[in-house]
Amino acid sequence: MTATAEVHTGGDGAPRASRRALVAGSVGNFIEWYEFGVYGYFATIIAARFFAPEGASDIEALVKTYASFALAFFFRPVGAALFGRVGDRVGRRPTLILVVLLMTAATATIGLLPTYDTVGAAAPWLLTLVRVVQGLSAGGEFGGAVSVMTESAPPGRRGLYGAWQSFTVALGLLAGAGLAALAATVLSEDALHDWGWRLPFLLAVPLGAAALWLRLRLEETPSFRRSTGRAPGGAQTGAPRGRADRTAAATAWRRPSTAETLRAIVLGVGRLMGWSAAGYTFLVVMPSYLQTGLGASFREALVATVVANAGFASAILPAGALSDRIGRRAVMCAGTVLLVVLAFPLLNLLQDPASSTAVKSAAVFAAGAAVGLLAGPGPAMLAEMFPTTVRYTGLGLAYSLSNAVFSGSAGLVVTELIKRTGDLDVPAWYVVVVCAAGLPALLTLRSDDHRRALRD
């Protein structure tokens, strides 16, 4: 699985095609993370509506809500394997169209589900079933989106193009937090708990329609066409002429062994685990932590989360562009070290009643920005680990497995440990331990990976 000299980076299409691929790849990520953000931000309300029969405690219902949250993440690897195989064999475009349709339908369905008061014990099971469908479709989204973005990127801009995947994640989380905060501000508390929480989920319908239109106009990537011998219109190209062409065709069709791919996936999980743990702890779990642990109001918690996600968004594109200049390793290792060093001080500022609102805002903004240093170069780093023939599957599995273990379980682990120990520093401990464990894997990155061609 050695890299070839940089002849192509996926940028042999017109600039317009590259930009179209960037937008079409980004929009699905926006919808995916908008919904996952909304679910996290409304976790306390969802807990009360779906997981809180009479006599159940608030913390018990919240733990069950996060268990459903985690379950969806554990179906992501299944979706990554299933849709990744289709995407590597049939094409990125048709697979991404199917994925966005499934995600949109599942998200809108949450906004229509009956609650515990209406159907009793069936309510949490129905919600969990829909979350499973979301997990499957989300598992197929990342690998395809990142493959399309990085395979279509102009030379020397793979990090920046891949960073747009993470940037639209931030936009999705911000949109979810912003709409949740708006609903909490405009609606009364009774209206919000009764029906207002449904509105952000139903908004997925027009968003999904826009995403579908963009993806229907998407072309297959240059790398996929080269690896399968397909012409831009989808037809098979003629037989290669000459020895050089025969060698190129054989190389394009060579699939790495299963063992090679599995080793790369495991290494990818190690390189992503800090990003996964810190991202969900600071950007999604934080609202519930502030409410149940520090006594903040729902509105105060959402405002803090908006600020954290603003910090996250502000760092992503600069970090991706910087990684195109100095390498993925330098930027991602710097972000990991910052998270290890700052996790406890930042959390203690939030816990201190004497801290001003400005200081607390700066703390959550800084936490988000540190995560952005990992999220910016991360997609391109993953794309560079796999050849085209297994890229959709390989990077999708690495990302979804990391998220299943370290993101999807973050809310459940943090909430349950606080419940059992009463230690309000649990979120910081979680971030520090996971980031420190993932740093050795990041140090194995080569300093010149950003200059090498993507492998066909």
Buried b (16+ CB within 10 A) or exposed e, 132-152: bbbbbbbbbbbbbbbbbbbbb
* Helix ranges, 152-196 (H): 158-186, 189-194
Confidence check: pLDDT of 232 > 70 = no
State residue 248's pLDDT score: 45
Confidence check: pLDDT of 349 > 70 = yes
Lowest model confidence (mean pLDDT) among 100-109, 223-232, 264-273, 376-385: 223-232
pLDDT band for position 11 (cuts 50, 70, 90): very low
State residue 247's pLDDT score: 44
pLDDT band for position 61 (cuts 50, 70, 90): low
Confidence check: pLDDT of 177 > 70 = yes
CA distance 312 to 281: 13
Mean pLDDT of 346-358: 83
Question: Residues 174, 309: contact at Cβ < 8 Å?
Answer: yes
State residue 316's pLDDT score: 96
Residue 109: its H or E element: helix 92-110
pLDDT band for position 303 (cuts 50, 70, 90): confident
pLDDT band for position 330 (cuts 50, 70, 90): very high
Instruction: Select from 3.40.50.300, 3.30.300.30, 1.20.1250.20, 1.10.10.10 the CATH code of 15-229+251-451.
Output: 1.20.1250.20
Reduced to 3 states, what is the DSSP secondary structure of residue 16?
Answer: helix
CA distance 85 to 264: 16
Confidence check: pLDDT of 415 > 80 = no
CA distance 328 to 218: 28
Confidence check: pLDDT of 159 > 50 = yes
More confident residue, 304 or 162: 162
Q: What is the 3-state secondary structure (H, E, C) of 75-108?
A: CHHHHHHHHHHHHHHCCHHHHHHHHHHHHHHHHH
Question: Residues 148, 379: contact at Cβ < 8 Å?
Answer: no
pLDDT band for position 56 (cuts 50, 70, 90): low
What's this model's pTM, rounded to 2 decimal places? 0.80
Reduced to 3 states, what is the DSSP secondary structure of residue 6?
Answer: coil
Confidence check: pLDDT of 435 > 90 = yes
Confidence check: pLDDT of 427 > 80 = yes
Question: Residues 380, 328: contact at Cβ < 8 Å?
Answer: yes
pLDDT band for position 217 (cuts 50, 70, 90): confident
Buried b (16+ CB within 10 A) or exposed e, 183-217: bbeebeeeebbeebbbbbbebbeebbeebbebbee
CA distance 106 to 129: 9
Lowest model confidence (mean pLDDT) among 177-191, 262-276, 329-343: 177-191
Confidence check: pLDDT of 86 > 50 = yes
Residue 203: its H or E element: none
State residue 356's pLDDT score: 81
Residues near 101 by Cβ (< 8 Å), separated by ≥ 6? 208, 212
More confident residue, 289 or 399: 399
Mean pLDDT of 42-71: 69
More confident residue, 164 or 237: 164
Mean pLDDT of 287-316: 80
Question: Tokens 């339908």 correspond to what residue?
Answer: 105
Lowest model confidence (mean pLDDT) among 71-75, 245-249, 416-420: 245-249
Confidence check: pLDDT of 351 > 70 = yes
Of 203, 191, 194, which Cα lies nearest the Cα of 30? 203
The distance of Cα 398 from the centroid of its chain, to the nearest Å, equals 12
Find which of 194-198, 293-297, 302-306 is predicted with most confidence, using mean pLDDT: 194-198
Confidence check: pLDDT of 57 > 70 = no
Q: Which tokens is 382 given?
A: 């993953």
Q: Which tokens is 98 given?
A: 């199917």
State residue 265's pLDDT score: 96
| Maximum distance among all Cα pairs of the chain, rounded to whole angstroms | 77
Angle at 399 between CA 395 and CA 405, to 5 degrees: 145
Q: Which tokens is 366 given?
A: 């800084």
Mean pLDDT of 30-51: 79
Question: Residues 69, 131: contact at Cβ < 8 Å?
Answer: yes
Would you say how long the chain is, in residues? 456
Average of per-residue pLDDT values in the chain: 83
Confidence check: pLDDT of 237 > 50 = no
Confidence check: pLDDT of 243 > 60 = no
Q: So where are the chain's domains?
A: 15-229+251-451
72 bridge partner residues: none
Which phi and psi (to 5°) does residue 230 adopt? -95, 140
State residue 418's pLDDT score: 81
CA distance 104 to 100: 6
Q: What is the 3-state secondary structure (H, E, C) of 366-414?
A: HHHHHHHHHHCCHHHHHHCCCCHHHHHHHHHHHHHHHHHHHHCCHHHHH
CA distance 218 to 342: 42
Read off the DSSP letter of residue 123. Answer: H
CA distance 201 to 130: 12
State residue 63's pLDDT score: 67
Q: What percentage of the chain reaches a pLDDT higher than 90?
A: 36
Find which of 13-17, 274-278, 413-417 is predicted with most confidence, using mean pLDDT: 274-278
Question: Residues 252, 58: contact at Cβ < 8 Å?
Answer: no
pLDDT in tens, 305-321: 788 888 999 999 999 99
More confident residue, 293 or 128: 128
